């Protein structure tokens, strides 16, 4: 059964619909946790002792075919190939930024939909920005993904395949992926179950092996999802909440989801999350010149967050074709940050910009209509 989510009078698929199932599609092995892989081997008559080796080939060696798993017995490889596929996402377009720090991939899906994934280089680490949906139902006015609308959720395997794709590219440089941010296309908490299972796979110590605290999930403020995270006591990844305004009226004007989950309800959920988990939340604030970037706006943020364990990440607006706002100038961003830090004692950073010249920055990911 499907339950509709209504934002601004428009119905969208509900929070609890986690996967799109394609009839008669072969099993994507990236959909499986390590224990599920072991169960699969048993079901096809293969000794489950081979689980660890297959898993290492999938996530450490980034094998693209079962045939490439040379240390796995041939009979086991053949049995796997008869029942499953390795859901490698083909690259339609690969684009590098002018400074060489960022690479954006346009990846194809089996139903001919497409998503974007980004590799970002920082000093001492490489981060993958991962998508969770084709498009997005939340409709944030300054976000290119929101402007394109919602098509469908990604499956677990489609989410997992993205950082594996990045790691495969890094192997040529003898480097490892260090961080994942679920800040690409889509709202992760709208696709809750698939995203949480993908995080379990990311953090499996014998695969990609990322520590939970190297994963950040960004939400526009899906209150049921935040409360569910609090109840379920998930692995301690970082939660980021896109705030962008400190009053209900201002927030609803740029974040349509605020009409469904109003600001006071969102802040109550954030308080519950922090009190239950003992973790601080990163609040994201897109700085738009003349809209939300004054010292008074900063003071409103300080009063809103009050005594919550919080950090504010300031993000100067990145340009998109569907929104005519202007990014805040660096001096205004500095003054905003100073107010938060010195008047309210709230830690704050201004996000390093990456890939703006190739539309790979925060809020810029989108897929043009297919010809």
Our answer to whether residue 143 is catalytic in this structure is no
Strand partners, 327: 288
Domain around 72: 28-85
> What is the mean pLDDT of the segment spanning 10-34?
61
In a domain, 22, yes or no: no
Strand partners, 311: 282
> What is the mean pLDDT of the segment spanning 75-81?
96
Mean predicted lDDT score pLDDT of the chain? 91
Q: Which residue has the higher pLDDT, 347 or 206?
A: 347
Q: Name the DSSP class of 87.
A: -
Q: Are 126 and 178 contained in the same domain?
A: yes
Q: Are 204 and 273 contained in the same domain?
A: yes
Choosing from 62, 129, 136, 362, the catalytic residue is 362
Q: Are 277 and 350 contained in the same domain?
A: yes
In a domain, 15, yes or no: no
In a domain, 17, yes or no: no
- 23 falls in which pLDDT band (50, 70, 90)? very low
Our answer to whether residue 284 is catalytic in this structure is no
In a domain, 307, yes or no: yes
Q: Are 137 and 72 contained in the same domain?
A: no
In a domain, 119, yes or no: yes
Choosing from 62, 116, 136, 187, the catalytic residue is 116
Q: How many domains does the chain have?
A: 2
Q: Kind of pairing, strands 281-287 and 125-129?
A: unpaired
Lowest mean pLDDT of 38-52, 221-235, 346-360, name the range: 346-360
* Domain end point (choices 85, 103, 134): 85
In a domain, 215, yes or no: yes
Q: Are 105 and 174 contained in the same domain?
A: yes
Q: Are 43 and 186 contained in the same domain?
A: no
Q: Is 49 exposed, middle or buried (0-12, 13-18, 19+ CB in 10 A)?
A: exposed
Q: Name the DSSP class of 262.
A: -
Q: Are 70 and 97 contained in the same domain?
A: no
Whether 86 shows a pLDDT value over 80: the answer reads yes
* CATH number of the CATH domain containing 35: 1.10.150.530
Q: Are 54 and 100 contained in the same domain?
A: no
pLDDT score recorded for residue 367: 86
As given in the structure block, the two tokens for residue 102 are: 């960022």
* Domain end point (choices 85, 108, 129): 85
Strand partners, 55: none
CB contact set of 16 (below 8 Å; sequence gap of 6+): 3, 192, 193
- Say what the pTM is: 0.92
DSSP string, 107-173: EE-TTS-EEEEEEEEETTEEEEE---EEE-SS--TT-HHHHH-EEEEPPHHHHHHHHHHHHHHHHTT
Q: Are 133 and 58 contained in the same domain?
A: no
Rounded CA separation 112/270 (Å): 37
In a domain, 3, yes or no: no
Angle between helices 192-202 and 156-171 (to 10 degrees): 30
In a domain, 118, yes or no: yes
* CATH number of the CATH domain containing 300: 3.20.20.70
As given in the structure block, the two tokens for residue 193 are: 């179950």
pLDDT score recorded for residue 352: 81
Q: Are 34 and 156 contained in the same domain?
A: no
Q: Are 191 and 204 contained in the same domain?
A: yes
* Domain end point (choices 60, 85, 110): 85
Q: Which residue has the higher pLDDT, 2 or 42?
A: 42
CB contact set of 36 (below 8 Å; sequence gap of 6+): none
Whether 370 shows a pLDDT value over 60: the answer reads no
Whether 85 shows a pLDDT value over 70: the answer reads yes
Whether 138 shows a pLDDT value over 70: the answer reads yes
> What is the mean pLDDT of the segment spanning 264-276?
98
pLDDT tens digits, one per residue of 325-344: 999 999 999 999 999 999 99
Q: Are 330 and 255 contained in the same domain?
A: yes
Rounded CA separation 86/355 (Å): 29
Q: Could you give the maximum distance between any two Cα atoms of the chain, in Å?
A: 68
């Amino acid at each position: 059964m499907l339950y509709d989510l209504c934002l601004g009078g428009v119905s969208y698929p509900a929070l609890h619909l986690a996967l799109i199932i394609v009839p008669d599609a072969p099993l994507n092995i990236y959909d499986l946790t390590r224990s599920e892989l072991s169960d699969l081997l048993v079901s096809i008559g293969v000794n489950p002792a081979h689980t660890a080796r297959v898993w290492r080939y999938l996530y450490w060696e980034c094998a693209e075919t079962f045939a490439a798993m040379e240390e796995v017995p041939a009979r086991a490889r053949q049995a796997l190939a008869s029942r499953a596929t390795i859901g490698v996402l083909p690259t339609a377009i690969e684009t590098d930024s002018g400074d060489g720090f960022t690479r954006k991939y346009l990846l194809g899906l089996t139903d001919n939909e497409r998503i974007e994934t980004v590799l970002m280089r920082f000093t001492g680490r490489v981060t993958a920005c991962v998508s969770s949906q084709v498009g997005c139902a939340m409709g944030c006015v300054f976000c290119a993904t929101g402007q394109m609308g919602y098509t469908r959720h990604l499956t677990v395997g489609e989410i997992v395949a993205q950082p594996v794709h990045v790691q495969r590219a890094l192997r040529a440089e003898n480097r490892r992926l260090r961080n994942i941010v679920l800040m690409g296309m889509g709202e992760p908490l709208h696709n809750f179950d698939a995203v949480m299972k993908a995080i379990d796979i990311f953090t499996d110590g014998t695969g990609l092996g990322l520590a939970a605290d190297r994963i950040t999930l960004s939400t526009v403020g899906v209150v049921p999802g935040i409360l569910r995270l609090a109840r379920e006591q998930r692995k301690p990844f970082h939660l980021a909440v896109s705030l962008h305004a400190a009053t209900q009226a201002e927030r609803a004007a740029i974040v349509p989801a605020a009409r469904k989950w109003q600001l006071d309800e969102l802040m109550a959920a954030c308080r519950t999350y922090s009190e239950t988990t003992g973790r601080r939340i990163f609040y994201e604030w897109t700085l738009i010149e003349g809209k939300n970037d004054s010292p008074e706006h900063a003071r409103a943020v300080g009063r809103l967050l009050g005594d919550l364990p919080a950090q504010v990440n300031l993000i100067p607006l990145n340009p998109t074709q569907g929104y005519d706002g202007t990014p805040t100038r660096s001096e205004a961003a500095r003054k905003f940050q100073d107010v938060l830090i010195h008047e309210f004692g709230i830690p704050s950073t201004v996000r390093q910009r990456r890939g703006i010249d190739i539309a790979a920055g925060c809020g810029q990911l989108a897929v043009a209509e297919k010809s």
